[in-house]
Structures are given as structure tokens and as C-alpha cells.
Structure 1
Amino acid sequence: MAGGAAAAPGVLLCALLWAVSAAAPGGSPAPGAFGRVYRGAVNISAERLYAFAYSSEPGQVDAVRVYVNSSSENLQYPILFVVRQQKGVLSWQVPLIFRGLYQRTYNYQEVSRTLCPSEPAPETGPSDQIIFVDVASMAPFNIAYELLVTRLESFQLETNRPFNFTASPSQPQYFLYKFPQDVDSVIIKVVSDAVYPCSVVSVQDIVCPVYDLDHNVEFNGVYQSMTKQAAITVQRKDFPGEQFFVVFVIKPEDYACGGSVPSSIHGNVNRTWNLQRTKNLQVTIVPSIKKSVYIQAMLFSFLSFLSFYVGSVVVAFVHYIRVRRKASAERLSPESGSGVMTSSHPITASTPEGSSYGAIDESSSSGGRQLSSPEHGPPAGSDTDSSVEEESDFDTMPEIESDKNVIRTKVFLYLSDLSRKDRRIVSKKYKIYFWNIITIAVFYALPVIQLVITYQTVVNVTGNQDICYYNFLCAHPLGVLSAFNNILSNVGHMLLGFLFLLIVLRRNILHRRAMEMKDVYTLDYGIPKHFGLFYAMGIALMMEGVLSACYHVCPNYSNFQFDTSFMYMIAGLCMLKLYQTRHPDINASAYSAYASFAVVICLAVLGVVFGKNDMWFWVIFSLIHVLASLALSTQIYYMGRFKMDGPDSDLGMFRRAAMVLYTDCIQQCSRPMYMDRMVLLIVGNLVNWSFAIFGLVYRPRDFASYILGIFICNLLLYLAFYIIMKIRSSEKLLPIPLFCIVATAVVWGAALYFFFQTLSSWEETPAESREKNRPCILLGFFDDHDVWHFLSAAALFFSFLVLLTLDDDLDTVRRDKIPVF
């Protein structure tokens, strides 16, 4: 009985072959044997038909591969191979023709294809299969061929087991993978020792036919181009059958991967080029992270930055206790009243008679200053006056302009010289920064969000993973998002930006209370408190997190400016805040500042589009950069009192500038009147001119980062100058700002280290970018760039705290004793 049962499938196969032979219209098929090479010749009147029979067991996937070869290169009369299976037909010709760039053609005499496997259902039992291979040609003469049909023993890929194989344009490969029971997501890692030839890795559902040629591999599933490395994350939920094909296609030319196009004669590439198009590949499928890792990563992200909130509450509580103890000690002290001055203008009252050096003369000061006193106007703390007040309402008389010239051109300036305007007007001027940046953020972010949603939808629908430049070795999807970890890591910008707003709000409330109590130290001591720029900085930090997250939804060449736009604004706002600290009356208006930022963003977009090879763009940009540096330096040096006007309209300002330069620097060669400012501006101009020359000579491809580097270098230069001048002026660095300065330096250093660990690059092709991909380094979830997001958020937060607390030591110093630099 056992022998009869074993022989039954063979009897059935023979019967099946006999029946097909009797019904075949072109004659009897020749029974074929797997693993045997068949040689023959065909012409218009002679064709060959082979039949290969085999039996499949339930749960067993049998794959068959057909290899054909012909020495004929006659494109007029190719050999046609038609393979018929139970559920499909596969056909090709030899020579097999591929078409490339510029109408080039690539012809191959050797072709090898894997037939779509069929798996019998468990309820049907063993299944008998038969394959027909028809060889024919319309040539009037004989064309020789070779045929080899084999059954693949290593067709199914296993988890955590590397598999090596070889593929070429005319001999693609694909394999089957089934999800294990305990695995919901896997990463397909493909590596090769050779950069070229360019290849494509595709993941396709179990559907026949399998798209495994250069011209159709993009028709189904998800795919990536590849040079030396590729990685695709696949989730079980995307495949109802819990299995998929991994397809490997070698492209006939390397242009898509950044390689050169071969030279050709009459559009046909020589045979030597085709013989070099073989690539050795290794594929390994490893399980991806579990859901618990997602939860751990989210908890880590939020708890790490919520600890900053805890630290801020502790510092605020300690400060509150110290203030209460100090107040109690002053009440108990017999000299507790010594700190309260009876004069409404303590600075003027304490100024020696006849001294005008840095003091405020009531007879010549502006009306705005008089309105700030309790005797002449509303309470000093009334920032929310319902009347519409503008600077022009208090500063329009001609003698006031001359007064500005007298005050601002003194050799030694003190803060009292540059804080003469009504504080309500100045405060409202700076509040415009806050409201304007909210408006900008809304109108900028909404179309950005819509655009990146469209990008992600296109990636999900088309399966083209070359659109987005992820670090595919550490890209963890969640829902429709392909790289959730890159988005989650930006939560720090939003949380710390909101925390900074809360800290500024607390300071603002305390300041208002002091103003309402007419505290003399608040009115005429220390740096004038204006919080509009600080609020704008906090909003900018939060928006940097939002837009960076939007960029990382689908990072690519066309949307990189989303990630950098608010970085420009953060750097610019920080410089404006530093300047405003000692120059509260003459800082730039919000409208001109944001207009300047808009010009910078426009230049960044133009640089991304035209900056690669256009020499004229770099010439014009470098010229604008240098002229802008000179104009800004002139305004800073002369405290805004250098008038760019003249009798000949626009040419007058150049004549005026040339005259001043000739008179002061060449003819008289005198020592600069404002030596400290001159040193800063000389160093600043040298730095900016160096950037301009570097850009003109090297023309960096990453233009957005180039502009960002200019902003950051100028900000660091100005901050260093400010701290040095503060120390030179015998001012103190209190523990909190000193800690923030050290923390800023340390965290920025660590952040920049991870920033320069390049994991992808949209300046290159997607395949070249993937060569830089690296595995996760933190919790198995975050990569180097995610760590950069964490650290840069903390570094920006500490930088903001430096600006907020740097001059806290001056709160008890009279403004006519605080130097301007």
C-alpha cells in the first residue's frame, strides 16, 4: 500500500502530460527535467515546447527559475520565450532590451526569471503542477538557444539569517518572507560591497505577476534605489496574507543612483558594459522594535523635558524664600527705609550740580520722559493704557532730533542716555514682535502642515521611498508617519519654548507689581524691562519644534527651508535682544526686523534653487552680504544717527559714506571715537567678508545651512563681545546666569557633535544618502539626529535664559552708572 501511494503522484503526472500532449495545437511537448540544460534551434517554421511537471505539498512553497541564453544579437528576429503556468503567463525575448537615459539601449543575451510560485491550500492536499516553456522565433533562419529550468531550494528568507545572492539587469531575483507568529514588524537590510551597479529593492504583496524588471518594478509595493545599503521597514498589518516578496532589480545604468552614464555609439551600449552589471547582495531580515519601546521612548521624551519644569519651580521657590527673608530682614532693620528715595527722579536728584555727563536733564529731555513720572501722567506700571500711543506722538519736534544727536554722539554713553522715551511707548513697540510672530507662525505653519501631509500621502500611496531622506536604519513608523522618532524628538522645542514663556510671564507679572507699587529700583535702576522680544523668542522656539517636525515628516530637497526658517528668526531675535538691552530707545522696529527675516528666507529659497551651479547668484549674494554688513555696522557705530542722504538722491549716501571714510581714516587717521564698538564691528565685518568669500569660492550646496552658519557666528560673536565688555565694566555674573552660560556652552558642544554625524543628505541622490544611514543609538529608538534635536532644544533654552538673566546684577545700579556698549 505504501509503494502504491508513493507511485500515485507519478502516475498522475504522466497522465497529465499525455493529456496535454494530445491536446497541444503545435505538437507534442517534450517532457522536461529540472536541472538539465536543453539546447536547440528555432526558426519561423520550427518551435519547441517543453513541459515540466512537479508536485507541491501543503505549506511548501515551490519556486521555479528559468534560465535562457542565445548567442544571437539580431534585434530584428529575437527568440521569444513564453512560460505558461496554472494562473499566469510570463514572456520575454532574447536579446532582452532595456532603455535608459537619452534613448540608450542595453541588450542582454542571458536572461533568468523566477516564476510566480503557487502554494496549495491545506484542505486540498498535495497538488500536481505543470509548466510549459514555449520557444519560438519569426526568423527565416535557425537561431540557437539554451534552456535550463531549476527548482529553487532557498526561496524563503528566514529571520536573522543573512542570505547572499547575485543579480543583474536581465537576471533579477526575488524571495518570499513570512512573518513569524510573534513578530509584527521587520526591517529588511540589504548591503553590498560595491557601490555600482545601481539597484532597486522592492517589497511586494503576494500577487502574480511579480514586477521584477527595471521598467515595471515601481508598479507595485514599496521600493528604494540602492548603491551599498538599503533598509525597508515592513509591518504585518500592511499584508493580509502575512507574507511578502522581496524583489531585487539591477538597473541597466547608474544615473538614478548618482553614477555616470556610459558613452555609447548610436545609442547602443557595448557588450562589455553589460557584463559588468552583476552585483553581489546580502539580505537580512530582522525584527523591528516592539510597541513597548514606543511607550518607553515617549515617556523618556516627555519626562526629560518635564524635569526642566521641576527645576524651574525649585529655582523660583528658592528665589521666593530669599526675597521673603530679605524683606523681613529689611523690616526689622532700623535702616530699612534707607532704600526708598523721596524724589520721584532719584537719578536727577543725586546727580552733582552742573554735571551733564550721562545724566538726564529735565529741561532738555523729551516729553516722553516727563510723561513717565507720576506727576505728569498715568501710573508708571500702566502698560495696558487703552489709548493708542505711538512713538511719533512724543518724538516729532525738530529740537528732539538735535537732542538725539547730542546725546548719542557722546564719547561715553550710559543707559540713562538711551532710555529717555516713555516706557509705555517702548514696551508697546516691543510687544509688536510678539503679536507679529504669532501671525507669521500661523500663516507659515498651516500651508507647511498641509504640504507635508501631502508628501506623506504620496509616499504611502506610491510606495516610492526615494521621495523622503530618512535614516532608514532607524526609522520607526507609527500610523501614517514613516519616521515617528524624528518627529517625537522635536517635542523638546515645544515644551521648553512654553516653559520659557512661563518664566518670562512670571518676570513680567513681578515687574508690573513693582511698577504699580512705584518701586524706585524698578523705575530708575537696572536695565529697563521690556518683555516683548522674550515672548517672541519663546514662540519662535516652539515654532522651530513644529516646523522641524513637519520637515522630518518627509525630509527632502524642496522643504528643507521649513527646518531653518525659524532658526534664522531665533538668531536674529537674540541679536536684537542683546542690542536692545543697552539701547532700548533705538532698537529696530518689529516691522523692519521681520521684513529683514523675510528677505533672508527668500534668499535661502533662491539659494536652494539656483545656488548649486549659478555663479552669478553667488556674486550677487556676496555683494548684498558685504553691503548689508557695512550698512548695519554704520548704523550701530553711530547709534542710528548717521544719515544716508545727499543732494543726488541715492548716490548721495555713497558720497557721504566715502567722505566720512576719507576724512576720518585716511586724511586725519585719528583714533576712533568709539573704540570698543569699532573693534567689534571690524571683527564682525572680517567674519562676514570671510563667509562671503568662502561662499563665492566654494559655493556650498547646502545654502540654507550656510546662511544659518552666518547668523549663528554673528550671534556668538556679539554675545562674546557683550560678556567681555560686561566683565571689563566691572559688572558681576550672578550664579544663575553663570550656570546658564556654562550649560549653554557644554550642551551646544555636545549638540553640535551629534549634528555633524551626518545620517542622510538631500544634496545627494536617495541611494547615496542611504550610504550614510546608521542604526539607533538611544533606547533602540532614537538616532544621532534625534539626540541633536534633544540637545539643541536644551541649548536654545539655556541660551534664552542667559539673555534673560545676564544683567540681573544691575537691578540695583542706577542707569546713569550703567555703560552702553
Structure 2
Amino acid sequence: MLLRNYWKSRHKNGRGPAPCWIRPGLAAVLWFCVTQLGSGGGAVGETKSVVQKDAEFDVTYNDTVTSENQTIYAFNHTVSRNKTEGVRLSVDVLSQDLDSTILFVVRQKQAVLSFQVPLILRGLYQRKYPYNHVGRTLCQPPTRAASETQYFFVDVSTLSSQGTNYQLRVSRVESFTLQTDKKFSFTASPSQPQYFKYVFPDGVDTVIVKVNSDMTFPCSVMSIQDIQCPVYDLDNNVAFIGMYQTMTKKGAITVQRKDFPSNSFYVVVVVKTEDEACGGPLRFYPLRPDELIDAGNRSKVLDVVVTPAINSKVYVMGMLFCLGIFFSFYLLTFLMACVENKRMNKKRELFQNPSDMSPAETGSTAPSKTPASPYEYGSFADNGSTLSSEAITDSATSTDNNYGYMERSLDSVGRSRQESLSSVEEDDYDTLDDINSDKNIVRTKKFLCVADLARKDKRVLSKKYQIYFWNIATIAVFYALPVIQLVITYQTVVNVTGNQDICYYNFLCAHPLGALSAFNNILSNLGYVMLGLLFLLIVLKRDIVHNRALVRNDLNALECGIPKHFGLFYAMGTALMMEGLLSACYHVCPNYTNFQFDTSFMYMIAGLCMLKLYQKRHPDINASAYTAYACLAAVIFFSVLGVVFGKGNTVFWIIFSVIHILATLLLSTQLYYMGRWRLDSGVLRRMVYIIYTDSIRQCSGPMYIDRMVLLVMGNIVNWSLAAYGLIERPNDFASYLLAIAICNLLLYFAFYIIMKLRSGERIQCLALVCILFTAVIWGFALYFFFQGLSTWQKTPAESREHNRDCILLSFFDDHDIWHFLSSIAMFGSFLVLLTMDDDLDTVQRDKIYVF
């Protein structure tokens, strides 16, 4: 207190450099000041003999220190404003007695560095590792003069009464200032960290600092720090300031000039005392809390190179490229719409002038083949072979489906149209006993047509399926708002703390923009949003055209083709847009805790596509929006549980596999019996009875062959996936669950295409082009997806081993190309579902088979 008051009386208003005892956080320096004062006047501590030596660079000094003497080494060197030279201090204590601790204090202009030898570094669980050999680079404060001679002093002291031998050497660091695009190699260890200076050249605003090593371990930390003293270059303080990340073989940090007012920064590399942060083995736990552990040889050879990042022109080119790709789909769609409108106008003109129409167009050709009997469809001949495709009618070319050739008159159709617009509820239809009986009769027919399952009021069904769109829009709003808030918080934490291990970027191709660390990964998700919006516009156009046809009592719209319900299509387009938004949010800071953002609407899209396929031939008995979204919510719930608890948890995998198999069986029963079964206490008894009477007693095959084939294949696939999950227990549970959904969707889609062709239907040119185009795009997309540029299943350091440079326009990486291609492929898949049954638009519904 007396010393502090004395200093304040000497320096009014606190101006001038504070002495060592006022500097916060320097307990070792305080101890040194007290002992130094005591040596002079004897007021504090014992009297010491202080020896000051004029020292030189590149000379090794062997000396001994005790509690009774103190040695001060005085160095001087010339510092130039235009040239920076590093100064490195190396100390080696020759004594093996750990109780003989030596304190080294380096006093510089505007800086003080102190450390003890043996240097004790702490690891996980406070384990202690002693190091007798220490090397530190001295901080070099900048000078404003053209040339200046600076002095610094190395004070060596100890409280041990026994003499301790040490070696001290001060040398200049060659290549202390890093050069652009020039690789520099060096060696570092926990007690011998290294750091170098880099100055931004003129015209370069952003650089990428890359540190590489051929050695996976020991684990290291690279840090970017401003030019100031002290430099935090030890394992226990390297995270105090600047940006930092752990690394094994690769590390990369993008540095912007605007973040460093001095237009320069330090690249600091520290080797950690333990490897757990990089996914290495966990070393043994010490028996005693104060036990010291031999760290062994933890030297690591690394190289560092600083390369200029992309400039603003590359940013502009990347954005224009992204917009150009997806706007081209808008242009192509507009041109096709113009061609289609021109064709329809020409067809309408010909219809209004029958004299100009050809015999084929007026339907005056020879009568077509008689439609095949439903009982011939799918049956087998005596010799076991199926009927040829010639026996199945191509109802799309049937002449009795043209305008003016329907059996029903326009008046009767008009009356039917008015009746369909009456206020009738679906529940009123379903709760009548006679209607229930009718359902049982119709749905248990061996061969069904679409007309049998399109008996409900059209307006009621339209409203029922519109609920899909409104529900998913509501889900999207309530889901997206907290997600956006959370990822903004993540990005803020990364920017404030400088911890680059929070987010799993591809650091070799992560281009920042504003507060965003990887703008290119966010921009590449634009395709989902733009193509989802384009799909909504296409569906809206079809919806408007269909409604206009209904208003004018068009016979084809009323009685032909697959019933047009667009609610699920609207929901699919909305889900695609939300997938782009949430994927962009995920890529703001991709990590273990928010991966769910990227996959939730993928489950939605897969589920909605399967529901749409089923709805095409079963419009009356498709699942309600509430049931469908409840099931999808259960899937997402299990996805969260799997990510949190699924890694190596045997109990979880057993429970999930059992639920997976039971859900597959229940869904199979629902599909096979068209919803005409009850889940109650007697379900097992009825199943056993049916198996006994139909299969064992009468040896009869299944009544519904086609449905049985699909369900058997589906159960084989799902049971195999359940067995794989139970045996392998994949770490990425979310992707495993998504693979289940995609496999089931592909299986059902393939079944639909095969049955469509088998029924004598055809696929029009537009739908066929969409199928082939989408299949090719999916193939390329999956190739880029499996490149695996990062993975949150491993530690951040291990994830960076997969990082690679940009491959497209020096702006986009493999995962960005996956975003491009998968958005196009999803859009093409949606178009396939939209146009696949266009060939049936002129076929009566009682001639369209259900499968």
C-alpha cells in the first residue's frame, strides 16, 4: 500500500507507465520486484547478490542460480520500422529436481514475459506435465522511428537454497515475417510454441492462413492474434484472444484486413499437452492429484503458408452464376408454357371448326380395342405366364373419351357439378351405415378402378387436401423463426469468442461476407427456394386451368383422369422452399446440435411424395393432414433421440428397431386392406384365423397379388434396414433415418411405374424426359454428397482433415454443387409426380386401375 501511494504521489492522474507491482495478473513479476527491493535495502526478504551481465545473441550461457544470487542478462539490438526480426529465448534446466524451480523474467519495452522452469502445463482433469526445456518468442513492440536500439533484460532467480544449473540462449528468428504464397516449415512442442508475423500487402484485403502437418498427433492449436503484447502462446491461454482452432493435419483460417487495424497479425501455433481435443486416446488418470506425468516427446513438424483469398469479382461471379442457373429454369418454363398455350389455342380452334379436323381428330377412325376385363388384369394363364400387353387396353387412345362422345349428357354433368358444390361434409358421408357397407363391398373387390375410390364429394376432398398446405405453412413459420434466432446467436458467439471449433465448415473453401463465415454454403441453397417457388407457380397454373374446366363443365375434367387435388403439391413446393431456408440456416454454423435443421424438411418431402403417389389412385382413403404430420413429427422426434442418445446405445437401437418393424407391419396391413380393418384386442386372433383358413386350410394365395408383392418387398427392405441399424449402429442416425425414408419412396415409385406400364398406360414424352433427366441429376448429386468435406460426427480437428479447396469458380466446393444438383433433382422429381399421369386425362375413371 505504501508503494502504491508513493507511486501515485510521483505520477499525478496516473499518467506514465505503471511499475510492475501495479500491473494486474503478473504475480511472478510482483514477487520479483519485492525480492529485488529486498536485495537492495534489506527491508523485505533476505539479502541477495545481483549480478548483471552484458549478453550477446547466439551465445549459450551456462550458469547456476541459488536463493542467494540473481543474474540479469542485458541484451540490446537494433529495430527498424520497415523490418521485423523475431527474438527467441531458449532455456534448459539441467537439474532433475522438480523442487528447484527457476523463475525467468524478460523485461522489454512495453512488455514483460515471465515463466518458470520446469514449466508445468495442465491437461484434462488438471493432470500436470512438467517440461525442463522451454523456448519462447519475445514480443516485439512496434517502433515509429526509422531505426531504434532497444534493450531488454532476462532476470534469473530462484527460492531454492540448492544450486540449479541452467542454459540460456537468445537468438534471432529467421523468416519471422511470413511471405505471401511462400511455405515455411518449423517445429513446435507444448513448451516451445511458435508464432510468426504477417503483414497484408497492398491490394490484398483477405487471406487464408493454412497450417499443415504430416503428423496426425500430437494435437495442435493455430491462432490468429493482433499485433500486441503479450502474445498468448501456451496451451492454457491461447484461447484468450483472437481466432483459434484445433488441428491434426490441416488447419485454415480466413483473415480479413478490416479486423486488424495494424494491417498485420500473428500466426500462433501451439502443441497441446493432450490429444483428447483432437479425438486422440484418453491417457490414464493420475493416482494422486499432485502427481506429475511424463509428457514424452510431443514435438510436431508443421508448415504454414498464407495465400490471398478471392476478391469481390469472384463473389459477384459466384452470385451471378447461382442466379443464372435457376433463372434459366424460369425462362424454360415460360417458353414451354407459351408453346403449350399456343398448342391448346390451336386445338380449341380446330374443335370449334370440326370441318377442318382430320378423321383421327374427330374420332371417326375404326373402333379401338375393347377394354380388358378387370378380372383379366393381373391374372395368370394356366401355363403360369401373364397376359400379354396387347390384352390390356390403352385407354388413353380410346375414341369414346373425346369431346362429344361421352355417354352422359351435358345437362346431367351440370347437375352433378352443382351437386358436388353443395354443402356436404366428409363425416356426413362416412358415418352412414349403408355407406360403410358400400365401402366394404367396394374396397374388397379384387380389381378396383379409380372411380371406386373417388366417390366422395370433390369440394370436401379439395378442402381436406388444402389442409396439407396450410398446416405445413404454419409449421414452417413456427419452426423457422427460432431456428433463425438460434443460428444468429451461434454466428455471434463464433465472431465474439473467435472459437473456430464451434462450426464445422470446409475451412479451405469458406468465403465470409459480413458477419457470415461461409457465405458460399448459404448462397448455394438459393436453388431450393427458387425452384420451390417455381413449382408452386406451375401447380397454381394447373389448378387455375382445372378450375376453369370445371366451371365450363368440361367432361374430361369432370369424369376423366386421375382426380385433380393440388393441396399436396402446394405442400411439397412449400417444403422444398423451407428445405432451402433451413439448410442455409444450418450452414450458418453447421455442428452437432443443429444438424436437425437440415434434415427435418427432408423427412417432410419424402413423406409428402409417398402420400401423393398413394393419393393418385386412392383419393378417398388417403391419410388426413393431421395424421400425416403427426407421423412425421414422430419421425423427427426419433431423429432427435437418435442424434442425442443413439451413438453406441444398444437399448435405444433395440427399441427403435422394434418400433420400425411394428410400424412397417401396421402400415402394410392398412395398405393391404384399404383401411378396412380395426386395431383392437382381437386383431391377433383375426390374423391367425385368416392365415389358418386362407393359407393353411385352403392353400389359397393372396387375394390382392399386386399389393402383396409391393408390401412383401417393402417389408424385406425395412426389416433389412432395421437389422443393419441394430448390428452396425451408424453414428449418423439422422442420415440413417433419411435413408429409410428415401428407400421406401424409391421402392413405391418404382412399383408405381411398373404397374402403370403393366396396366397398359403410357408415359408421355414430357414425363419421360423429366424421369431420365432427374435420374441423371440424382446420380451426379449423390456423387458430390458423398465427398464428405466435413463431419460433425468427429472432433473439429478430425473434420478438418476432410476439407478441400473450391472446385467451381474458386467459390463453390463439392457440397455447394450437391446443393445445386439436389435442388434441381428434387424439382425434377416433383415434376415427374405432377406430369406422370397426364396420359390419363382423357380416360374415364372406371377404366383406370388402382394399384
Per the normalisation by structure 2, the TM-score is 0.87
Relative distance call for 1:796 and 1:454 in structure 2 (3 A) is: same
Q: Is the 8 A contact 2:127 2:292 kept in 1?
A: no
After superposing the two structures, state which structure 1 stretch, 797-806 or 93-102, moved more.
93-102
Taking every aligned residue pair, what percent have the same amino acid on both sides?
60
Deviates more, 1:489-498 or 1:653-662: 653-662
Within the alignment, does 1:314 sit opposite 2:335 as a pair? Answer: yes
Q: Structure 1 CA distance, aligned partners of 2:492 and 2:695?
A: 62
1:149 is aligned, of 170, 183, 199, to 170
Q: Which amino acid aligns with 1:44?
A: S
Q: Deviations over 1:6-35 (max 9, x none)?
A: xxxxxxxxxxxxxxx999956341000100
2:400 is matched with which residue? none
SS in structure 1 of the partner of residue 822 of structure 2 = helix
8 Å Cα contact 2:444-2:673 kept in structure 1? yes
Equivalent of 1:65 in 67, 76, 88 = 88
Identify the residue that residue 669 of structure 1 maps to in structure 2: 699
CA deviation map 1:428-472 (0-9, x unaligned): 100000000000000000000000000000000000000000000
SS in 2 for 1:177: strand
SS at match of 1:507: helix
Name the counterpart of 1:390: 425
Conserved? CA contact 1:74–1:95, under 8 Å:
no
- Range that drifts further, 308-317 or 434-443: 308-317
Say whether residues 1:811 and 2:841 are aligned partners.
yes
Q: How does 1:203-218 map to 2 (within 5 A)?
A: 203-218=224-239
Q: Report the Cα offset of residue 272 of structure 1.
A: 9.8
1:59–1:119 CA contact under 8 A, matched in 2:
no
**Given the superposition, is the C-alpha separation of residues 509 and 761 from structure 1 closer, same or farther in structure 2, using an over 3 Å criterion?**
same
Answer whether contact 1:490 1:549 (CA < 8 A) is retained: yes
| 1:498-551 residue CA offsets vs partner (Å, 9 max, x unmatched) | 000000000000000000000011100111100000000000000000000000
In the TM superposition, what is the alpha-carbon distance from 1:788 to its structure 2 partner?
Answer: 0.2
How far is 1:101 from its partner? 1.6
Map of 1:714 onto structure 2: 744
Q: Which residue of 1 aligns with 2:122?
A: 99
Between the aligned partners of 2:834 and 2:512, the Cα distance in structure 1 is 39
Is the 2:227–2:264 Cα contact (8 Å) retained in structure 1? yes
- The Cα offsets for residues 718-753 of structure 1, whole Å up to 9 and x where unpaired, read as 000000000001101100000000011000000000
Equivalent pair of 2:611/2:622 in contact (CA under 8 Å): yes
Query: Which residue number corresponds to residue 188 of structure 1?
Result: 209
Does residue 1:53 correspond to 2:83, yes or no?
no
Aligned partners of 1:214 and 1:264: how far apart in 2?
A: 19
CA contact under 8 A between 2:78 and 2:147: conserved in structure 1?
yes
Change in CA separation of 1:316 and 1:324 when aligned onto 2, cut-off 3 Å:
same
User: TM-score, length-normalised on structure 1?
Assistant: 0.90
Determine the structure 2 residue equivalent to 1:229: 250
What pairs up with 1:665-814 in 2 under 5 angstroms?
665-814=695-844
**Of 546, 551, 554, the match for 2:586:** 551
Question: 1:530: which partner in 2?
Answer: 565
SS in 2 for 1:539: helix
* Distance (whole Å) between structure 1 residues aligned to residue 293 and residue 185 of structure 2: 25
The residue type paired with residue 153 of structure 1 is E
- Aligned residue runs from structure 1 range 629-644, under 5 A: 629-644=664-679
Q: Does 1:434 find its partner at 2:456?
A: no
Which residue, 641, 654, 669 being the options, matches 1:606?
641
Structure 2 partner of 1:18: none
Instruction: Report if aligned partners of 2:141, 2:228 keep a CA contact under 8 Å in 1.
Output: no
Of 288, 296, 299, the match for 2:309: 288
Aligned-residue offset at 1:154: 1.4
Alignment map for 1:482-501 (pairs within 5 Å): 482-501=517-536
Alignment of 1:431-510 (within 5 A): 431-510=466-545
* Alignment CA distance shift 1:561-1:669 (3 Å): farther
Which of 104, 128, 135 is the equivalent residue of 1:112? 135
Cross-structure match for 1:197: 218
CA distance in 2, matches of 1:128, 1:306: 64
Q: 1:219 aligns with which of 240, 263, 276?
A: 240
1:399 alignment partner in structure 2: 434
| Aligned-partner residue type, residue 432 of structure 1 | I
SS of the counterpart of 2:668? helix
Q: Quick check: 1:263–1:269 contact (8 Å CA) kept in 2?
A: no
Name the aligned partner's letter for residue 32 of structure 1.
A
Check conservation: 1:736, 1:805, Cα contact below 8 A. Answer: yes
SS at match of 1:157: coil
Amino acid at match of 1:172: P
Q: From 75, 99, 105, give the equivalent of 1:76.
A: 99
User: What corresponds to 2:3 in structure 1?
Assistant: none
Alignment partner of 2:606: what SS?
Answer: helix
CA contact (8 A) 2:137 2:194 kept: yes
Alpha-carbon distance between aligned partners in 1 of 2:497 and 2:682, rounded to the nearest angstrom:
60
Aligned to 1:366: none
Aligned partner of 1:375: which letter? R
Q: Which amino acid aligns with 1:378?
A: Q
Is 1:33 aligned with 2:56?
yes
Contact residue 491 and residue 516 of structure 2 kept, 8 A: yes
Shift of 1:275: 3.6
What does 1:587-606 correspond to in 2, within 5 Å?
Answer: 587-606=622-641
Q: 1:61 to 1:566 in 2, by over 3 A?
A: same
Aligned counterparts of 1:530 and 1:724: Cα–Cα separation in 2? 23
How far has the Cα of 1:789 moved from its partner?
0.2
Work out the CA distance in 2 between the residues paired with 1:308 and 1:273: 64
For residues 192 and 267 of structure 1, what CA distance do their matches in structure 2 show? Answer: 35
User: For residues 474 and 652 of structure 2, what CA distance do their matches in structure 1 show?
Assistant: 31
**Within 2, Cα distance between the matches of 1:598 and 1:320?**
41
Match of 2:415 in 1: 375
Contact map agreement 1:103 1:267 (CA 8 A) in 2: no
Deviations 1:553-590 (A, max 9, x none): 00000110100000000000000000000000000000
Letter of the 2:511 counterpart: H
- Which residue does 1:344 correspond to in 2? none
**Residues 73 and 95, structure 1, Cα contact 8 Å, conserved in 2:** no
**Alpha-carbon distance in 1 for matches of 2:682, 2:800:** 55
Per-residue CA deviation, residues 654-676 of structure 1 (Å, 9 max, x unaligned), is 33333333433344331110101
Q: Are the structure 2 counterparts of residues 663 and 222 from structure 1 closer, same or farther at C-alpha, using a change threshold of 3 Å?
A: farther
Query: Matched residue of 1:404: which SS?
Result: helix
**Alignment root-mean-square deviation, CA:** 2.4
C-alpha separation in 1, matches of 2:96 and 2:640: 51
**CA positional deviation for 1:653:** 2.5
234, 259, 275: which one pairs with 2:280? Answer: 259
Secondary structure of 1:528's partner?
Answer: coil
Q: Evaluate the alpha carbon distance shift between residue 340 and residue 288 of structure 1 in structure 2; reply closer, same or farther with a 3 A threshold.
A: closer
Question: Which residue of 1 is the match for residue 196 of structure 2?
Answer: 175
1:47 is paired with a residue of what secondary structure? strand
CA distance in 2, matches of 1:210, 1:625: 56
**Which whole-Å deviations, capped at 9, do the CAs of 1:240-276 have from their partners, x for residues lacking one?**
1110000000000100000012336536999996342
Q: Could you say which residue in structure 2 is the equivalent of 1:345? A: none
Instruction: Indicate the SS of the match to 1:559.
Output: coil
Residue 374 of structure 1 and its aligned partner are, at CA, apart by: 3.5
Distance 2:188 2:116 in 1: 19
Give yes or no for the alignment of 1:304 onto 2:344.
Answer: no
Match of 1:733, SS state, is coil
Q: Secondary structure at the match of 1:27?
A: strand
- Equivalent-residue separation in structure 2 for 1:213 and 1:602 (angstroms): 43
Segments ≥4 residues shifted beyond 6 Å: 21-24, 268-272, 335-341
Contact 2:50 2:70 in 1 (8 A): no
Across the two proteins, how many residue pairs are aligned to each other?
763
* Segment of structure 1 superposing worse, 125-134 or 729-738: 125-134
